[in-house]
Structure 1
Amino acid sequence: MKSAQRFYPIFNSSDWLERLLPQGIKLAQLRIKHTDQPLLRAEIRRSLQLARQYGTALVINDHWQLALEEGAEWLHLGQEDIEEADVTAIRKSGIRLGISTHSHAELDTALSYQPDYLALGPVYPTQTKQMPWDPQGLERVSEWKQRIGNTPLCAIGGISLERAPGVFAAGADLIAVVSDITAAVNPAERVQDWLTLVNAAPPSEGLTHEH
């Protein structure tokens, strides 16, 4: 994994990508929750074009069918999503897969799919979306990393630039960031601060491109 790929911002529109990918982001996620199919397809298509233009690995959240149809290289699924998805078709396509986990049972389920990375959250309290789970804390980050070995671990939930060094030290290979960027007074400047931080962080296992 390139150092810059340890920073994993999540955006809800292609407009955010157009605005911030030029800052040097090399890994990002497009997470759109509405289900208007024509609009979704247009957003995914435009986002993938922007990602290719700037050499960014773009992960599509949830919408696996559109991701496959539009030629995405990365996909992220939650536990409920993966139950409904055609994992055989996903794997046959060669797309790389990340899966969310929030409990030991979910971790066991996720590992059975041999994901390309695992996400654990929320590490800290978050206001980004309603969460039925208590904050996981740094000890859980360390526990997850010990259990999953070489599978890259993504920490998510309430993580700010100031908290990031402790999260990396606990074992996270990459950190997903939402409001710390999009709610910042100067998002572009905040992105630069993150890139400076991850470039100085110790090396990690990295994202694998193998199944």
Structure 2
Amino acid sequence: MKLDPFYLIVDSAAWIGRLAPLGVKLVQLRIKDMGEDRLRAEIRKAKALCDEHQSQLIVNDHWRLAIEEGCDFVHLGQEDLQTADLLAIRAAGMRLGLSTHDHAELETAITAMPDYIALGPIYPTILKKMKWAPQGLERIREWKHRVAPIPLVAIGGLNPDRLDGVFAADADSAAVVTDITLNADPEGRTREWIEKTERWR
């Protein structure tokens, strides 16, 4: 499969409603602490918005709800992968993305035969505390050599100025969270990302 080079990650359907109309074609809904009823409503709304704007929705972690709501793509971290029912995910026709941070996690991810593998953090990130040091561009090259032809997503500390290096190192897609959601002008920053990644589509 081919991933869009611009991979937006947000924590609410409201963000998708704001940014998908600008031309975002790949977006992950990443919600960590929320009751099941509210979470289901968020996933349902996010799916409707993505369907409306021809955008691919990826649901982070909550694979059971994603299946029940008819979503077709889920992203799992390594801890979630240990407890997830991959057979049920595949039986539902869902595609799967997996996070990796070190060589052991990469081996685990490859064994699961996902539809993409994510590597991070490439640069220092403020999204969450990480026990891993920034991976750097050389690690992207190493990972891509190992995982090809599986698409590789780079994540962590990315901004438009760093994209040339990320794609030159053979990443297929660049994921972004805070560079857009904490920006004073999220819509303007989103347009900048879309313009900057256009050449890799």
> Does TM-score exceed 0.5, indicating one fold?
yes
Q: Deviations over 1:26-84 (max 9, x none)?
A: 00000000141001000000000000000000000000100000011110000000101
What residue number does 1:41 align with?
A: 40
Distance 1:136 1:169 in 2: 15
What residue number does 1:200 align with?
A: 199
1:17-32 matched pairs, under 5 angstroms: 17-32=16-31
1:19-168 matched pairs, under 5 angstroms: 19-168=18-167
Amino acid at match of 2:43: I
Amino acid at match of 2:130: M
Aligned length: 201
Q: Is the 8 A contact 2:2 2:151 kept in 1?
A: no
5+ residue gaps, structure 1, are 204-211
5+ residue gaps, structure 2, are none
What residue number does 1:209 align with?
A: none
Deviation at 1:2, TM superposition (A): 7.1
1:172-183 matched pairs, under 5 angstroms: 172-183=171-182
Distance 1:47 1:41 in 2: 10
Q: Deviations over 1:180-205 (max 9, x none)?
A: 1111121111111111111123x6xx
Distance 1:200 1:93 in 2: 34
Amino acid at match of 1:10: I
Q: Deviations over 1:149-198 (max 9, x none)?
A: 11000000001111111011111000000011111121111111111111
Q: Give the TM-score normalised by structure 2.
A: 0.97
What residue number does 1:208 align with?
A: none
Distance 1:197 1:53 in 2: 24
In angstroms, what is the RMSD of aligned CA positions? 1.2
Structure 1 residues 84 and 35, CA gap change in structure 2 (3 angstroms) = farther
Distance 1:117 1:2 in 2: 9
